[in-house]
Chains A and B, each alone.
Chain A
């Protein structure tokens, strides 16, 4: 089964073609990097898949379901999860409360209004496991706004994993991180089971070559090249639009 299938997807913002006629097949289990210069349409592509932006034309399918016009929260229910380039958390809530919101997102208990949260220990169990995995346990009662940037980026990924996605979109997960923090995030991505398909927007080529087995190069909203990292690195058009002459 394919994790994600885009068929001739176009998104226009006024006169700008942010994403132009993109077709893409993403098999289950691969680690796909989406690279390209600023303004190439990478984040718009993610927004189209997560449902925050609807395509002008074209069709999007995820895990065998047509999701072209589906509401974002329904997409999460069929197995999509994403992170944001600009950290998008709940700053005035604590780390634990952030994680709890993620792990209960697909549970029916999220509609309960006349019982306290404490009545659902299984949510706490899952939140605890997530926090331990991300080394965020010790800061669980700290409001997210007071975390370091590196911790916020890790929580960003933890939140996305909280809904147990089968297709995970990571928008520049290592942007702005110190080298040691980058290594931690990379290890985390490498440790994800192959049942999870990972799409990654990334500028750091070391990260791309370190974790990804496929690359899609976007430029001006169009797919310029696809293939394994080696193939893409050799592609003369890619060298011209993106990698420059140094590679």
Chain B
């Protein structure tokens, strides 16, 4: 636990120190947090349950669109819009999950990708609701929400930091719980879990819906950060980015998605100022990580040491 607590303390202090930085960096740090939340939600599926979702942009986008629509059309406040956004992505997840969680492996990947593309097509074509290709611009961010100042970048950054911290703590608890270990068991062998007596489908479905709720929260934060949502947010490239963050940072670890999101968002911002072909560099990076560091950045840093549970020994003969 020592190194973990140390890493968490350093990350926490660095996160708070961002407040003193110029607005551009605060904006960038907020983006990191938002994508960290998306990657964390995806990691619950990829890293712990062994389900590689390749359509997570759908739930990210559903949250963003729902929040934008209720804000623009019905002048809903921030918290109501956030609740509606998360509910929308959770409902979409509950519906799509019925189809997707019956499968596993590459079939799960293909089904989630197809469902993601359906959602993208819907956002693109349902012009009266979504604005089509133009998206929904001008989503206002309220000056205050429940007394929380949101008019400047710092206030919103702190809100995102709070959301990510809470999600991180809850997820850290969940993956150490009996439920979390059952998910790991499903990742390792579905058939064994089934004959041991676990309702495997129920676990996969619960993990899927939980994950889509978190992805929705991330989408809500994203639309209020930029004041804008468009079909690009739902595109398969957004899904791919989220997956890349999980794998780059280290799937199946609590800190991995945060590290992956930070690396990728910062790298994108630096590279895109240098070359238009930054996607190519990311692609090469992805191949290198998969080949030489399957545990991601966190996997490289962490010594391979299985967890020792505290317990008393058996009575020796």
Contact across chains for A118 and B188 when beta carbons are under 8 A apart: no
B298 to chain A, nearest CB (A): 15
B177 contacts across to A, CB distance below 8 A = 112-117
Bound Cα distance A88, B190 (Å): 10
Chain A minimum-CB-distance residue to B313: A137
B173 contacts across to A, CB distance below 8 A = 114-116
Render A66-78 as a binary contact track against B, CB cut-off 8 A, 1 for contact.
0000011101110
Which single member of B181, B194, B200, B313 contacts A101 (CB below 8 Å)? B181
A159 contacts across to B, CB distance below 8 A = 192, 196
Bound Cα distance A132, B315 (Å): 8
Interface-located stretch among A15-23, A92-100, A178-186, A231-239: A92-100
Render B271-296 as a binary contact track against A, CB cut-off 8 A, 1 for contact.
00000000000000000000000000
Contact across chains for A132 and B197 when beta carbons are under 8 A apart: no
Render B192-224 as a binary contact track against A, CB cut-off 8 A, 1 for contact.
111111111000000000000000000000000
Chain A minimum-CB-distance residue to B180: A113
Question: Number of B residues contacting the other chain (C-beta, 8 Å)?
Answer: 35
B79 in the interface, Cβ–Cβ < 8 Å? Answer: no
| Most chain B CB within a 10 A radius of its CB, from A88, A106, A124 | A88
Contact across chains for A142 and B178 when beta carbons are under 8 A apart: no
A36 in the interface, Cβ–Cβ < 8 Å? Answer: no
A120 contacts across to B, CB distance below 8 A = 178
Contact across chains for A101 and B312 when beta carbons are under 8 A apart: no
B270 in the interface, Cβ–Cβ < 8 Å? Answer: no
B178 contacts across to A, CB distance below 8 A = 104, 109-113, 115, 117, 120
A97 contacts across to B, CB distance below 8 A = 181, 184
Q: Interface residues of B: mostly helix, strand, loop or mixed?
A: helix
Bound Cα distance A238, B189 (Å): 37
A128 contacts across to B, CB distance below 8 A = 311-314
B14 in the interface, Cβ–Cβ < 8 Å? Answer: no
Question: Number of A residues contacting the other chain (C-beta, 8 Å)?
Answer: 51
| Most chain A CB within a 10 A radius of its CB, from B189, B191, B313 | B189
B79 to chain A, nearest CB (A): 23
Bound Cα distance A58, B313 (Å): 48
Bound Cα distance A132, B316 (Å): 9
B174 contacts across to A, CB distance below 8 A = 113-114
* Residue positions of A touching B, CB distance < 8 A: 50-52, 71-73, 75-77, 81-82, 84, 88-94, 96-97, 100-102, 104-106, 109-118, 120, 124, 128-129, 131-132, 137, 140-143, 159, 162-163
Could you name 28 residue pairs across A and B whose Cβ atoms are closer than 8 Å? A52-B194, A73-B196, A89-B188, A89-B192, A92-B184, A93-B184, A94-B306, A97-B184, A100-B181, A101-B182, A101-B193, A102-B196, A105-B196, A105-B197, A110-B178, A110-B198, A111-B179, A113-B177, A114-B170, A115-B173, A116-B173, A117-B181, A128-B312, A128-B314, A141-B306, A141-B308, A143-B306, A163-B197
